[in-house]
């Protein structure tokens, strides 16, 4: 495994608008995951 110690090129900072889309995706994914867990519980408990 290569151990990176020095940046090879200047870091690229993504714009805020891009990050807000990522945050929205995280929230949607979390809701879906909790929903799937609830479905899992219901399926094997009933």
Partner 1 sequence: MRSLDWAVVVAYLAYVIWDGIRMTKHSGNVEGYFLANRSLPWWAVGLSVMATQLSAITLVGTTGQAYSDGMRFIQFYYGLPLAMIILCITAVPFFYRANVYTAYEYLERRFDAKVRSLTSFFFLISRGLGVGVIIAAPSVILSIVLGWHEVTTIFVIGLSTTIYTMVGGVQAVTWTDVKQMFVIFFGLSVCMFVIISQFPSGVSFADGLTLAGATGKLTTVSLSFDLKEKYTLWSGMIGGLFLFLSYFGCDQSQVQRFLTAKSVSEGRTSLLMSAFLKIPMQFMILLVGVLVFVFYQFTAPPMIFNQVEVGKVAQTAQYQTLKGEFDTAHHQREQAAEHFLKDRTDATRQEYLAADKAFNASRKNAVDYVKSATKNESFNDVNYVFPTFVVQNMPMGVVGLIIAAIFAAAMSSISAELNALATATTIDFYRRHFKKDGTDRQYVFFGRIATFVWGIFACFVATYATNIGSLIEVVNKFGSFFYGSLLGVFVLAFAVKRARARGAFFGLLFGISSVWVASHFTDIEFLWFNVIGCLVTVVSGYLISLTDRGGIDVVDV
Q: How far is the CB of 12 from partner 1 (least distance, A)?
A: 7
Q: How far is the CB of 1 from partner 1 (least distance, A)?
A: 7
Q: Which residues bind partner 1 (CB under 8 A)?
A: 1, 3-7, 11-14, 19, 22-23, 26-27, 29-30, 33-34, 37-38, 40-41, 43-46
Q: Please work out, in degrees rounded to the nearest 5, the angle formed at the alpha carbon of residue 16 by the alpha carbons of 14 and 18.
A: 65
List of residues 6+ apart from 37 with CB closer than 8 A: none
Q: How far is the CB of 17 from partner 1 (least distance, A)?
A: 13
């Amino acid at each position: 495994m290569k151990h990176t110690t020095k940046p090879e090129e200047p870091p690229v900072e993504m714009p805020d608008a891009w990050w807000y889309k990522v945050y929205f995706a995280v929230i949607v994914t979390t809701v879906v995951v909790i929903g799937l867990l609830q479905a899992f519980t219901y399926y094997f408990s009933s």
